[in-house]
Amino acid sequence: MAQDKFKVFCGTANQSLAHAICGYLGVEPGKAEHGRFSDGETRYQVLENVRGADVFVVQPCSHPVDFHLMQLLLMIDAFKRASAWRITPVIPYYPYARQDRKDRPRVAISAKLVADLLETAGSNRALTLDLHAPQIQGYFNVPVDHLYASPVLVEYFKKKNLGPITVVSPDAGGVERARLFAKRIDAPLAIVDKRRIDINVSEVMHLIGDVAGRPALVVDDIIDTAGTLVKTAEALLENGATKVYAACTHPVLSGPAVERIEKSQIEEVVVTDSVPLNEAARGLSKLRVLSVAPLLARGIQSIHEETSISELFM
């Protein structure tokens, strides 16, 4: 039976995560060859039989985003042309997720375009983690299983036993994510009203909720340049928070992010290994990395065995 042929292949974006997933599943990574032509084009060749196989392709589209996205598309196309039974890209970090709507005149809805490209390449379904905008699932015409890293992060902060704490959303768009997190740890919710004045530049306006006399935990999906995070922390401390912690799924940490966090008054930034840390981030003393490999492995197993995946949802 086709369902009995189960294979996991790894892109080059985050091989440590991909190999950890294979370890939890008890399988060896599929054999393949990644290469590049002298003009920079990427190429991919599958080195084993995948005819009739249930194939999972692990590839977060982190920096350099365009290269890793193109590599993922070539991998999917190769499996389709090799007659795989089902192809499921496992995308812990979905590319172009912040371009999910027309927020200005004459701009592309890039998140939708990526979904179209993945389907055209040959994806039969997709497994994602903490999409910036959950409605991106609706851009696909194939099933999408959207997992959340919150259970991993929640468990960590429960064990820290910080006492009464307030969970904070750094903007209105992340309220639902923060609300669910707050519910899991039985904490009140606060919201920072933020007005963005340019791309990757934001200005904190004021706080909705009470953080005075207690630690605050900022919950977000992405830390990019860390401007939002640091300004949020400053606003919380100005409003009486005793300490500020952060829990974020995707540690993009581009530009001045590492320096900003190191110089900030944030006690600890807890992230996952959805994307690999850059060299500067690996030396950041305030950073703690938790693995989502077990979570993604369970998602892959549920899809392959065709069992319910809902128990993994937030």
Residue 8 has pLDDT above 70, yes or no: yes
pLDDT the model gives residue 196: 63
pLDDT in tens, 249-293: 999 999 999 999 999 999 999 999 999 999 999 999 999 999 999
What's the chain's Rg over C-alpha atoms? 20
Query: How far is residue 246's CA from residue 230's CA, in Å, rounded to a whole number?
Result: 10
Residue 130 has pLDDT above 60, yes or no: yes
pLDDT the model gives residue 3: 43
Residue 202 has pLDDT above 80, yes or no: no
Q: Name every residue whose Cβ is closer than 8 Å to that of residue 194 and which is 6 or more positions away in sequence.
A: 170, 171, 172, 202, 203, 204, 205, 228, 231, 232
Query: How far is residue 79's CA from residue 122's CA, in Å, rounded to a whole number?
Result: 8
pLDDT the model gives residue 109: 93
Residue 161 banded pLDDT, cuts 50, 70, 90: confident
Which residue did the predictor score with more confidence, 194 or 258? Answer: 258
pLDDT in tens, 9-68: 999 999 999 999 999 999 999 999 999 999 989 999 999 999 999 999 999 999 999 999
pLDDT the model gives residue 2: 40
pLDDT the model gives residue 135: 92
- Multiple choice CATH, 150-290, 3.40.50.2020, 3.30.470.20, 3.40.630.30, 3.20.10.10: 3.40.50.2020
The reply to whether domains 2-148+293-312 and 150-290 share a CATH topology is yes
Query: How far is residue 240's CA from residue 90's CA, in Å, rounded to a whole number?
Result: 42
For residue 6, the 8-state DSSP code is E
Architecture label for domain 2-148+293-312: 3-Layer(aba) Sandwich (3.40)
pLDDT the model gives residue 195: 67
What percentage of the chain has pLDDT greater than the value 90?
Answer: 86
* N residues, the chain: 314
Query: How far is residue 216's CA from residue 237's CA, in Å, rounded to a whole number?
Result: 9
What integer best gives the mean pLDDT of the chain? 93
Q: Does a cis peptide bond (omega within 30 degrees of 0) precede residue 64?
A: yes
pLDDT the model gives residue 286: 96
Domain ranges of the chain: 2-148+293-312, 150-290
Among 48-62, 112-126, 148-162, 199-213, the least confident range: 199-213
Residue 241 banded pLDDT, cuts 50, 70, 90: very high
3-state secondary structure of 32: strand
Residue 128 banded pLDDT, cuts 50, 70, 90: very high
pLDDT in tens, 80-99: 999 999 999 999 999 999 98
Mind telling me the catalytic residues? Answer: 194
pLDDT the model gives residue 103: 82
pTM: 0.92
Residue 205 has pLDDT above 70, yes or no: no
